[in-house]
């Protein structure tokens, strides 16, 4: 299988920067690698001798484990450079002597000795300034000679959305005429970025699904993301709509994806140089959260979706807040299929961007 068009590229704003056809290719590659894995076929020749550097500014289970396992299953090596245990990469103007190292120096150093750099950053490490982490990852890409992979930032989570589209393809065989609901759900924690909901309205819209975005007042997404969803829906023959009713959104859905995220009005604000000019207000955000505790995915709401419909979540889910045990442990839940598909999605991304021999 040829990798023309993928080799050496970054995977940062992938829902925007990669075409629908390229997404289809990556989905197919992921499914083929999953088939090979199930048949215990050798994959170590694909990225033999290649090195992946990872940096997690935030905690991780699925992303960390599947990237580490995935590169080794493809014959490569994984080196985890945990910020704080190494010199922490920092943008210009945000350095701390003898604790940080400017991103331009880190990126150029790592691209001399490795074959890809994968980064996760959002929330407190990005000062709760929307877009700060995304800009930091793009700064890495500017100075790096090897692909940079976004493992979740404050704007997008494209590795998750690829795994989710692989899961949808497995369950339904395709995307057209399938209703995909991305819904806000309550959590007791306000430490929730926009990344998953923004990626999980963009990706299904790009694939031609009928996307419904449900949220209470105050939990709207980036207007540019919504604009792109509408453009994708027009181009692919799908549809896109917004609602402030979780129940209305769930009616006759094929896929429901209830997930918490923060309220943008309470995030920090920055000037044109990225300097914080207004602090985040997580306490104020919690007041808004607590007005919407009824936004929970329970058995009653699941009765509104199609009998063949599925419940999805990126995990970890806040049980008895975002979702009841009855739903997440029930027969329509595919959350562990999604989690498994993270492995195969990440392997597909690495194989195609890092010059794999497929």
- pLDDT mean over 199-216: 98
* Closest C-alpha among 176, 34, 66, 54 to residue 121: 54
- Is the model's pLDDT at 261 over the cut of 50? yes
Q: Give the least confident one: 10-14, 51-55, 137-141, 283-287.
A: 283-287
* DSSP output for 193-262: -SHHHHHHHHHHHHTT-EEEEE--TT----HHHHHHHHHHHHHHT-EEEEES-HHHHHTT-SEEEEE---
- Is the model's pLDDT at 4 over the cut of 60? no
The predicted structure's pLDDT at residue 273: 84
pLDDT tens readout for residues 276-314: 999 999 899 999 999 999 999 999 999 999 999 999 999
The predicted structure's pLDDT at residue 1: 35
pLDDT tens readout for residues 30-45: 999 999 999 999 999 9
The tokens for 193 are 């970025």
The predicted structure's pLDDT at residue 272: 83
- Is the model's pLDDT at 52 over the cut of 80? yes
The predicted structure's pLDDT at residue 2: 39
Comparison of pLDDT for 5 and 166, the residue scoring more: 166
Domain 160-339 listed as CATH 3.40.50.300: no
- Is the model's pLDDT at 263 over the cut of 60? yes
pLDDT tens readout for residues 85-115: 999 999 999 999 999 999 999 999 999 999 9
Within 8 A by CB and 6+ apart from 331, the residues are none
Task: Quote the CA–CA distance of 98 and 187 in Å, as a whole number.
Answer: 38
**What letter does residue 66 receive in the DSSP assignment?**
H
- pLDDT mean over 115-142: 96
Q: Give the least confident one: 129-138, 253-262, 277-286, 322-331.
A: 277-286
Query: Which of the four pLDDT bands, split at 50, 70 and 90, describes residue 358?
Result: confident
Listed in order, the ranges of the chain carrying CATH 3.40.50.1370 are 14-155+340-353, 160-339
Domain 14-155+340-353, what architecture? 3-Layer(aba) Sandwich (3.40)
**What letter does residue 78 receive in the DSSP assignment?**
E
Q: Using a pLDDT cut of 70, give the percent of the chain over it.
A: 99
* Cβ 19 vs Cβ 157: under 8 Å: no
- Residue indicated by tokens 């793009």: 138
Query: Which of the four pLDDT bands, split at 50, 70 and 90, describes residue 356?
Result: confident
SS3 67: helix
* Cβ 357 vs Cβ 45: under 8 Å: yes
Angle, in degrees to the nearest 10, between helices 20-38 and 158-172: 70
pTM of the entire predicted model:
0.96
SS3 323: strand
- Residue indicated by tokens 């877009």: 131
The tokens for 174 are 């395709």
The predicted structure's pLDDT at residue 51: 98
- pLDDT mean over 312-322: 98
The predicted structure's pLDDT at residue 357: 85
Angle, in degrees to the nearest 10, between helices 158-172 and 195-206: 50
Task: Quote the CA–CA distance of 50 and 64 in Å, as a whole number.
Answer: 18
DSSP run (H or E) holding 30: helix 20-38
- Is the model's pLDDT at 28 over the cut of 80? yes
């Amino acid at each position: 299988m040829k990798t023309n068009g993928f080799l050496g590229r970054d995977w940062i704003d992938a829902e925007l920067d990669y075409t629908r056809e390229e997404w289809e290719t990556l989905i197919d590659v992921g499914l083929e690698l999953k088939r090979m894995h199930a048949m215990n076929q050798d994959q170590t020749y694909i990225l033999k001798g290649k090195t992946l550097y990872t940096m997690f500014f935030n905690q991780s289970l699925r992303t960390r484990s599947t990237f580490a396992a995935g590169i080794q299953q493809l014959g490569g090596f994984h080196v985890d450079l945990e910020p704080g245990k190494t010199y922490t990469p920092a943008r210009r103007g945000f350095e701390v002597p003898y604790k940080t190292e400017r991103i331009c120096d880190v990126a150029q150093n790592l691209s001399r000795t490795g074959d890809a750099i994968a980064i996760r950053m959002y929330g407190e490490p990005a000062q709760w300034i929307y877009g700060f982490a995304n800009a930091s990852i793009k700064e890495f890409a500017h100075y790096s000679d090897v692909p940079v992979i976004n493992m979740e930032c404050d704007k997008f989570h494209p590795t998750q959305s690829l795994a989710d589209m692989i899961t949808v393809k497995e369950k339904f065989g395709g995307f057209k005429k399938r209703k995909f609901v991305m819904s806000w759900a309550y959590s007791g924690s306000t430490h929730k970025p926009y990344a998953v909901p923004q990626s999980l309205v963009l990706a299904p819209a790009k694939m031609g699904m009928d996307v419904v975005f449900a949220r209470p007042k105050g939990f709207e997404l980036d207007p540019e993301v919504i604009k792109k969803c509408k453009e994708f829906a027009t181009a692919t023959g799908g549809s896109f709509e917004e609602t402030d009713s979780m129940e209305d959104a769930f009616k006759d859905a094929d896929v429901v994806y209830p997930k918490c995220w923060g309220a943008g009005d309470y995030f920090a604000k920055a000037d044109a140089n990225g300097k914080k000019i207004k602090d985040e207000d997580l306490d104020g955000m919690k007041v808004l959260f607590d007005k919407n505790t009824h936004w929970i995915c329970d058995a009653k709401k699941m009765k509104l979706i199609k009998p063949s419909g599925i419940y999805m979540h990126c995990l970890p889910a806040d049980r008895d807040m975002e979702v009841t045990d009855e739903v997440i442990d029930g027969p329509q839940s595919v959350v562990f299929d999604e989690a498994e598909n993270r492995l195969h999605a990440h392997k597909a991304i690495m194989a195609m961007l890092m010059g794999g021999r497929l």
